[in-house]
Amino acid sequence: MPQLKPYSHYNDLYDKFTIENCRKIISDTIKHEESRDQPWERKFRSNVYELYVSFEVVDRALNKNKVIEKRMKSDKEKDDFISSTKIPKLKCNFCSKQMDLDDTSFMSWVWDEKDRLLFIFQCNDCNKRRAIYNDWEEIIPKKHLCPNCNTELNKKSDIKNDTLTINYFCDKCSYKESEIVDLKVENIEEKEDNNYEEDRKRFCISEEETYKLKNWIHDFYEWIYEVINWTDPVSIAKRKEQEKFRPLENIKRFTITELEEYLSPILTEKWFINFSLWKAEIDKEIHVYFTVIDKSDKNQKHSSRIRLRKIINEAISNTNWFFMNSWKLEEKLWIIQWRLKWVDNNDELLKLIEK
Ligand SMILES: [Zn+2]
Ligand SMILES: [Zn+2]
């Protein structure tokens, strides 16, 4: 029997698989859906299986020609292999007569280099058989031996009412055994598939329809993308604002009293004592004078303002307090008077911090 069949055979087979796959996707989705409690989950999935099926439909349609071509080529190769393989000539092992070829089988489902042909020969004189591959490997059946005297058993087969009875008997002793094989073929009636042609139209589509469907899938994806990424303008503005002021998250916002309590011990440790804030001026910002007494030794006095500014700047670097650049310090004897400003406006704060 030739392996290569007409195009319609492969086409029908391919469509059959496509229909089966699509039906399975739908039934699996429905089954999964029924296991869910929430009605909205069911609704969502009902819409989604259309999409799953569309993927499969497009995929199968786009691969159809390639797959069928490959199958046909493979079957043609099998035919070439079979026709180019010489039938061996065999002699019977028992009576040495030339045997006749009884059957040829192609031993493969999928074509590959290891595929072989099996030839089965029969002797017309003594009915003995031999099975041999095209590469001369022979299948030698295990001998069925008598359990009493170890002689090879003879057999006689008989078919009656769909029952095959094989009787084994020993020529030497009187040993007998039989094997009964039920040959009844179960009558599997193929269920009538009323929706087959309808489903074939639906799932096995032409190339032109494939491109239409592909566009639909593309649009659907775009829509999903927009839905996922969609946010209302108020939320977008809020998120941008949050992002913008993120650097201010770690800023310590001290009141005047808190600042005094915070800076005093830091300055005292470096010999600037009696730090006090006083006289707040309220403008757009709050400006506060401070005084501090320098108790460090005389040799360090000339650099005291630089040291003081450095100490304070380091200490307030992470707060909403800043030196007033426009205002110069006053220094009399050992008292230093300077000004700090308190900033509360976030935009202003951000500007100053980024400096
Ligand atoms: Zn023979
Ligand atoms: Zn025996």
Between 262 and 110, the higher pLDDT residue: 262
The CA 99 to ligand 2 mean position distance, Å, reads 30
Same domain as 341, residue 265: yes
Residue where a domain stops, chosen among 51, 84, 117: 84
Same domain as 126, residue 77: no
- The number of domains in the chain is 3
pLDDT class of 41 with cuts at 50, 70, 90: low
Residue where a domain stops, chosen among 57, 84, 111: 84
Residue 276 half-sphere exposure toward CB, CA atoms < 13 A: 5
The CA 152 to ligand 2 mean position distance, Å, reads 8
Query: Does residue 126 sit within a domain?
Result: yes
Ligand nearest to the backbone CA of 170: 2
The CA 106 to ligand 1 mean position distance, Å, reads 25
Same domain as 104, residue 74: no
Same domain as 260, residue 349: yes
The CA 170 to ligand 1 mean position distance, Å, reads 20
The neighbourhood of ligand 1, an ion, using CB within 5 A, equals 92, 94-95, 123, 125-126
Does position 300 have pLDDT exceeding 70, yes or no? no
Span of 35-49, 53-67, 239-253 with lowest mean pLDDT: 35-49
pLDDT tens sequence across 137-178? 888 878 889 999 998 898 888 888 888 898 999 999 989 999
Angular region, 11: left φ>0, alpha ψ -120 to 50, beta rest: alpha
Query: Does residue 15 sit within a domain?
Result: yes
Same domain as 75, residue 31: yes
Between 34 and 212, the higher pLDDT residue: 212
The CA 122 to ligand 1 mean position distance, Å, reads 8
Query: Does residue 240 sit within a domain?
Result: no
The long-range contacts involving 60-68, CB below 8 angstroms and separated by at least 24 positions, are 60/14, 60/17, 60/18, 60/21, 60/203, 60/204, 61/204, 61/205, 61/206, 61/207, 61/209, 61/210, 62/210, 64/14, 67/14, 68/7, 68/10, 68/11, 68/14
The CA 30 to ligand 2 mean position distance, Å, reads 64
The long-range contacts involving 320-325, CB below 8 angstroms and separated by at least 24 positions, are 320/251, 320/252, 320/253, 320/254, 320/344, 320/349, 321/254, 321/259, 322/352, 324/287
Does position 10 have pLDDT exceeding 90, yes or no? yes
Between 324 and 104, the higher pLDDT residue: 324
pLDDT class of 107 with cuts at 50, 70, 90: low
Same domain as 128, residue 40: no
Using an 8 Å Cβ cutoff, are 173 and 146 in contact? yes
Using an 8 Å Cβ cutoff, are 170 and 164 in contact? no
Query: Does residue 92 sit within a domain?
Result: no
Percent of the chain with pLDDT strictly greater than 70 = 87
The CA 123 to ligand 1 mean position distance, Å, reads 5
Same domain as 77, residue 116: no
Same domain as 112, residue 36: no
- Phi/psi for 76 (5° steps) reads -65, -40
Same domain as 78, residue 34: yes
The CA 169 to ligand 2 mean position distance, Å, reads 8
Residue 46 domain boundaries: 7-84
pLDDT of residue 285: 76
Query: Does residue 167 sit within a domain?
Result: yes
Strands 330-332 and 272-282: unpaired
Residue where a domain stops, chosen among 182, 204, 230: 182
Does position 229 have pLDDT exceeding 80, yes or no? no
pLDDT class of 271 with cuts at 50, 70, 90: confident
Query: Does residue 245 sit within a domain?
Result: no
Query: Three-class SS string for 46-66?
Result: HHHHHHHHHHHHHHHHHHHHH
